Chains A and B, each alone.
Chain A
């Protein structure tokens, strides 16, 4: 029988995959996609715990997380477009003007 523990472990694995993507990839779009993976891992936790506690609050929070993810994707992709226009590259290693 599947219990809450399996869902928690699955979302932990997905969150770690998203973190690994942020560490390993050198492409701004793939880094944003990895952040989406992390947000979805947390969403899975909210829905699973909501089901366990017998409340709809978990699903309501997921609704808000999706809205925030949409806003984040819109602003993040606008930044990617602006950066690409300046440097003609998507590698985060190319944007080092603020480095000392």
Chain B
């Protein structure tokens, strides 16, 4: 695994994600999140998961983010509304920043204690991981029930979205 590519993609993902939550304009946030998803897709390729990388681009960047963009444009709300009084109190923002940094420190500390776990360099193992046939076999045999439940979930979400967003008479 190429360290240069890993750190490049990791830096792009982290910086783009930070900019997503730093933007006032939701349109820019959506665009930057697509950049972050592209970097994550590169990381999936490094992890010998080309199917997941392509799905990330097609489903996430291509479908879900377009849905977000569509809603941002439909609502025509280009900036965050500052007129509404903040219910968190005067120190709400500072407390939120401190809590977020504490969570980041905790998670990084806990995950860095896993112990050295290097990936196997066996090319046969990498080939088995990247096989789309094995993923498909897994989905339609071992995880067949979860797959069917997922299709019901999608149907429910579709009906629910239509009912919720419908204009009331």
Interface of A toward B, CB cutoff 8 Å = 1-21, 23-27, 29-30, 32-34, 36-37, 40, 43-44, 47-48, 50-52, 54-57, 59-60, 62-64, 66-75, 77-82, 84-85, 89-91, 93-94, 96
Contact = CB atoms under 8 A, between A and B. Distances in A.
Given A1-B1, A75-B160, A84-B77, A9 B108 contact: yes
A84 B76 CA distance: 11
Contacts of B20: 21, 30, 33-34, 37
B23 to A, nearest CB: 8
B96 A20 contact: yes
A78 B40 contact: no
Interface residues of B, number: 88
The 8 A-B residue pairs whose C-beta atoms are closest, nearest first, are A16-B104, A20-B100, A71-B157, A21-B21, A12-B107, A23-B96, A78-B165, A78-B161
Nearest to B72: A29
Contacts of A84: 75, 77
B139 A12 contact: no
Contacts of B10: 6, 10
Contact of B55 (A1, A15, A20, A66): A66
B65 to A, nearest CB: 8
Given A17-B14, A18-B17, A56-B128, 19 more contacts: A2-B119, A3-B119, A5-B116, A12-B111, A13-B107, A16-B107, A27-B26, A27-B81, A47-B47, A59-B135, A60-B135, A62-B52, A68-B150, A74-B67, A74-B157, A75-B157, A75-B160, A82-B165, A84-B77
Contacts, number: 253
Contacts of B47: 7, 47-48, 51
A86 to B, nearest CB: 10
Contacts of A91: 80-81, 84
| Most central of B71, B72, B74, B116 by chain A CB within 10 Å | B71
Contact of B118 (A4, A74, A79): A4
B129 interface: yes
Contacts of A17: 14, 17-18, 21, 104
Contact of B14 (A6, A10, A55): A10
A16 B80 contact: no
23 contacts: A2-B3, A12-B107, A19-B100, A20-B103, A21-B20, A26-B80, A30-B23, A30-B26, A30-B29, A32-B68, A33-B68, A36-B60, A37-B36, A51-B47, A51-B49, A54-B125, A63-B55, A73-B64, A74-B157, A75-B157, A77-B68, A77-B161, A90-B80
